[in-house]
Amino acid sequence: MNVRPLAVLLAAATLAACRHARPEADPLAQLPATIESTRAALRIPGLSVAIVRDGEIVLARGFGMADPAKNVAAGPETLYPIGSITKTFTATLMQQLAEEGRLDLDAEVRGFVDWEVAPGIRIRHVLSHTSEGVPGTRFSYSSRFNWLDNVVEAATKESFRTLMTTHVLERVQLRDTLLGEEHEGYAESLPALAAPHRLDGKDVVRSRYPPMAFHSSSGISSTVTDLARYSIALDEGRLLSPAALERVWTPVTAPNGNAFPYGAGWFSQTVAGERVVWHTSWWPDAYSGLLVKVPSRRLALVLLANSDTLVSPQRGSSNVLLYPIANAFLHAMLGGEQPFRGTALVAQSLIATANGDTARRDALLSEAMACCAGDLAGIGDDDRLRLFAASDDPAVRALAVEAGQRLATAFPENLGIQFDVALLRGRVRPSMRINGDDAQGAVAALDQIAASTQAKPKWMDAWSHYLVAEHIAATEPERAKLLANRALATGVDTDGLRRRVEELLQKLP
């Protein structure tokens, strides 16, 4: 394994510069302590990390336990399902096929699949998560990415699994990276696989393995050292040409010229003047991960964990600085004397939220607003709406309200945005009932969503009906009963919805 410890590299650099000079402090020296404190705060049983600097793996180690029940420690060769980090592999393969002339990324998806797809949705829209609504006009992280293995197989007449093996895994000798299978007992057959865990109240308990089948959006299992080698291979041009990497890592732009937070299979943003590309992995109640790269500096951070809390507090955030360990890593390498203090405080507030400490959450968010408005400007409206809406601090909530209003105005046809804004107006979270001064506005908005003939997820339909029913139960019991039964008929049971509906129906005359 090509791993050179930080201390060795530091010593070599010092001797080369001046044998008598005092060695400069390594900017990454404090990162292991940050990783361990974050792991403990998020109650992650086991976490593995690898760091790449100047094309070398300078740190590879584990923290905590890969399998506490068997007393197996996490290490650099511990195997984890990497979830959506698989999307970066798919993007790499598809760019290779495009350069070979075997795949046209501008072709419409409906020509490659046997289910109905709206006209105008092109392969590049799915690859960049811009296929929802009017294609190319809005970024919306979508499960449609899972269409792409079907597209590849239809275009090439070859197995997606075979192409991934020959074009990526074998080309850079990723021997510890596996393409998953869906048969019973597959996960149990992998002795190096970390055991999945979830939070049960304040306890961390063993959980079930997630689906392991290999598709374009997930299904690869790997180690932090293999993902570090993958990162190095990208930087060295062994997988894609410089032109192809530029296409993959450049954020897609909207028709109005605004940049989305995503390129092709990678999130992409500018931090301290440098392009940072990255992706998360989130298997609820099982695993999580984070791959962060600074291509111009040949830097990379790889994190894999055997619970979902490494990334679940961020709720799909598209700003890498809101992930505490990534924030610390990028500050150490890019931040100089001025830390990314505002986003670091928000990142810590998300840990407090995950631990149910709402007072600390609001104190940290208030401090971030007071000290670091410029730093917070980089948090997009989608993230503001998701992350600040539950705050009890009026000034913090105002950030979410303003963001929601901008989004609702810009995308009036997007029911997902309208639903989130309705929850915000009605102060629905965390009690999951309509409250606040604008309750009637929230009821009207949810009524409109429920009545809309536009296609929408069942969970949105169910919660819209239930929330209105619960709010009007005392004044309009007959209508409340009708709406509650409609919610029940959807079969949705997220966040205990069925129990809530049944309890409401028992109270109604």
330 shares its domain with 375: no
Cα 203 from Cα 224, distance rounded (Å)? 27
CA distance 381 to 400: 8
- Count the alpha carbons within 13 Å of 411 in the hemisphere toward its beta carbon: 22
Predicted TM-score (pTM) of the model is 0.87
**Claim to verify: residue 319 and residue 398 sit in the same structural domain:** no
Domain membership flag for residue 488: yes
Distance CA 228, CA 172 (A): 11
Same domain? For 330 and 210 the reply is yes
Please give the residue range of the domain that contains residue 304. Answer: 6-336
Q: What's 146-179 look like in SS3?
A: HHHHHHHHHHHCCCHHHHHHHHHHCCCCCCCCEE
Q: Are residues 79 and 224 in the same domain?
A: yes
Residues 471 and 384 in one domain: no
1: in domain: no
**Which CATH number covers residue 174?**
3.40.710.10
The pLDDT value given to residue 9: 43
- Tell me: do 301 and 152 sit in the same domain: yes
Q: Comparing 360 with 7, which gets the higher pLDDT? A: 360
Boundary-marking domain end, from 336, 364, 392 = 336
Do 373 and 253 belong together in one domain? no
Confidence of residue 339 (pLDDT cuts 50, 70, 90): low
Say yes or no: 424 and 346 in one domain: no
Is the pLDDT at 108 greater than 80, yes or no?
yes
Q: Are 289 and 365 found together in one domain?
A: no
Q: Report the CATH number that the domain containing residue 495 is assigned in CATH.
A: 1.25.40
In a domain, 116, yes or no: yes
Residues 257 and 286 in one domain: yes
User: Tens digits of per-residue pLDDT, 173-200?
Assistant: 999 999 999 999 999 999 999 999 999 9
Average model confidence (pLDDT) across the chain:
92
Q: Tell which of 376, 408, 440 closes a domain.
A: 408
Tell me: do 365 and 380 sit in the same domain.
Answer: yes
Give how many domains the chain has, as a whole number.
3
Domain boundary pick from 309, 336, 363: 336
Q: Average of pLDDT values for 378-385?
A: 92
Q: What is the pLDDT of residues 446-465, one digit of tens each?
A: 999 999 998 888 999 999 99
